[in-house]
Amino acid sequence: MKKVWQECIECHSTYDADVIKYKCDCGGLLEVRIDLESLDGISWERFRSRSFNVWRYFELLPFEVGDSTVSLYEGGTPLYKCERLGKWLGAKDFYIKYEGMNPTGSFKDRGMCVGITKALKLGVKGVACASTGNTAASLAAYSARARIPCIVIVPKQTVALGKLFQAIMYGAKVIRLDGTFDEALSLVWKVVDEVGIYLLNSINPWRIEGQKTVAFEITDQLGKVPRYVALPVGNCGNIAAAWKGFKEMEVVGLTDCVPSMVGIQSEGASPFVDLVKNGLETLRPVEAPNTIASAIRIGKPVNWKKALLAVKESNGLVAKVSDAEIIEAQRMLASLEGIGVEPAAAASVAGVKKLIENGEIDADETIVCICTGNMLKDPNPELIKGLEPIDVAPDLDLIRNIFTSLLNQ
Ligand SMILES: *Cc1c(COP(=O)(O)O)cnc(C)c1O
Ligand SMILES: [Zn+2]
């Protein structure tokens, strides 16, 4: 038997793996711990003899052989070497880990397969989340797969159309809140225990367990640990998850170093970047977060303490970028490399560009940007301003002339 428990990141109180809790009694965040020292038979060779997805690294996940797991074959996403984009950034050895290739088009699927598997093991009546969009889409799909009732709550004014459509089509009960994501999360959190529904936001430490596999995959694909791993930061779960993955690989002897974690936020929603930059003791929430990158439009990230540890322990960096810089990066990813990402995902690339320009990132080292979500999620006309298509009447001469002039442009 694998020894698995939950532990507070602050007072280190421990709780049984089957206790449903989203915070320690002291108020600290919980994390899932596995007795890594007791695991045997872990090697890259063994992992690589299996299919390339989240479950390739089964020993490092908090389940036993024989446990039934819920899967849509998440993970196993491409790592692209990007020379043209790298040149634009001034980076020598630059890669994109393209999480838009997951079953519902974002990295959330890595966490949800584990979260829903845990929900089934616990025998809960239903699952719920607050979401800017992607968590709702992912939870809806996995609860459909597991045949478990699902309620999601999203901010009405800002949820991206593709994400809302997914949640509805996968069969979730969808509530639109006239308010922000932060309000939505604080409201659901207050009712879940009372109504007996299981909360699957990233405050739930089992989500992080699935999401940490992105670190395993990057290392597996690259054949080494990169010097920097950059990603967009919203509710602060994913940067903590990736960092946990890198640390655990080192503990079990799969690697002998760790990367610096680089967290990027948008100027209109940058409480975490401000916390790090200003050396604050505690997070100052942004009351009215605003950015075109709706997946990171979050003013009060619940996992900020975990993310702060990730940045501190990894000698990491943070930066904030403008919406204009995000849109530019999104277009460059698509047009220079054929990689279609949503705005939040492009923020990581925009942030790396800024940190290279500032001299904070060494451009000669290996850099991996995690591009968290797919372009198709968010077909917002704002994003293609100035690139609108040419409208024409069905006239042969006109079409011929336009083709000729476009080709000679
Ligand atoms: C959820 C999400 C993020 C933010 O991740 P956190 O864990 O909340 O920090 C970034 N990009 C995309 C596309 C997302 O869906
Ligand atoms: Zn505690």
- State pLDDT tens for residues 134-159: 999 999 999 999 999 999 999 999 99
Residue 115 Cβ contacting ligand 1 at under 6 Å: no
Burial class (CB in 10 A: 0-12, 13-18, 19+), 405: exposed
Strands 93-98 and 366-371: parallel
Residue 263 Cβ contacting ligand 1 at under 6 Å: no
Q: Vertex 206, ends 240 and 314: CA angle to 5°?
A: 15
Closest-lying ligand 1 atom to the alpha carbon of residue 341: 13
Residue 222 lies in a domain: yes
Å from CA of 6 to ligand 2 middle: 11
Question: Cα 13 vs. chain centroid, distance in angstroms?
Answer: 27
Domains: count for the chain: 1
Å from CA of 114 to ligand 2 middle: 24
Residue 26 lies in a domain: no
Å from CA of 389 to ligand 1 middle: 30
Task: Calculate mean pLDDT across residues 179-198.
Answer: 97
pLDDT higher than 90, residue 1: no
Residue 137 lies in a domain: no
Closest-lying ligand 1 atom to the alpha carbon of residue 133: 15
Å from CA of 25 to ligand 2 middle: 6
Strands 317-321 and 260-266: parallel
**CA distance to 259, 382, 406, per residue, from 386 (Å):** 38, 9, 16
CATH number at residue 234: 3.40.50.1100
Residue carrying the six token digits 């698995």: 4
Count of residues in the chain: 409
Residue 340 Cβ contacting ligand 1 at under 6 Å: no
The helix, strand and coil proportions of the chain, stated in percent and rounded to the nearest 5, come to 45, 15, 40
- Cα 177 to Cα 215: distance, rounded to the nearest angstrom: 34
pLDDT one-digit tens code per residue, 50-105: 999 999 999 999 999 889 999 999 999 999 999 999 999 999 999 999 999 999 99
Residue 237 Cβ contacting ligand 1 at under 6 Å: yes
3-state secondary structure labels for all residues of 37-63: HHCCCCCHHHHHCCCCCHHHHHHHCCC
Residue 41: pLDDT band (50, 70, 90) is confident
Residue 328 lies in a domain: yes
Residue 127 near residue 65 (C-beta atoms within 8 A): no
Q: Mean of the per-residue pLDDT values for the chain?
A: 97
Residue 170 lies in a domain: no
Residue 6 Cβ contacting ligand 1 at under 6 Å: no
| DSSP secondary structure of 199-221 | E-STTSHHHHHHHTHHHHHHHHH
Q: Name which residue sits closest to atom 14 of ligand 1, judged by CA.
A: 295
At residue 98, the pLDDT reads: 98
Best residue among 235, 239, 291 to mutate for probing ligand 1's pocket (most ligand atoms within 8 Å of CB) is 235
Residue 36 lies in a domain: no
Q: Name which residue sits closest to atom 2 of ligand 1, judged by CA.
A: 295
The dihedral over CA atoms of 298, 303, 308, 310, expressed in degrees to the nearest 10, equals: -120
Residue 373 Cβ contacting ligand 1 at under 6 Å: yes
At residue 404, the pLDDT reads: 96
Residue 399 lies in a domain: no
Q: What is the pTM of this model?
A: 0.97
Residue 162 Cβ contacting ligand 1 at under 6 Å: no
Q: Which domain holds residue 326?
A: 79-104+207-375
At residue 8, the pLDDT reads: 98
Residue 409 lies in a domain: no
Residue 354 near residue 319 (C-beta atoms within 8 A): yes
Residue 342 Cβ contacting ligand 1 at under 6 Å: yes
- Cα 234 to Cα 307: distance, rounded to the nearest angstrom: 10
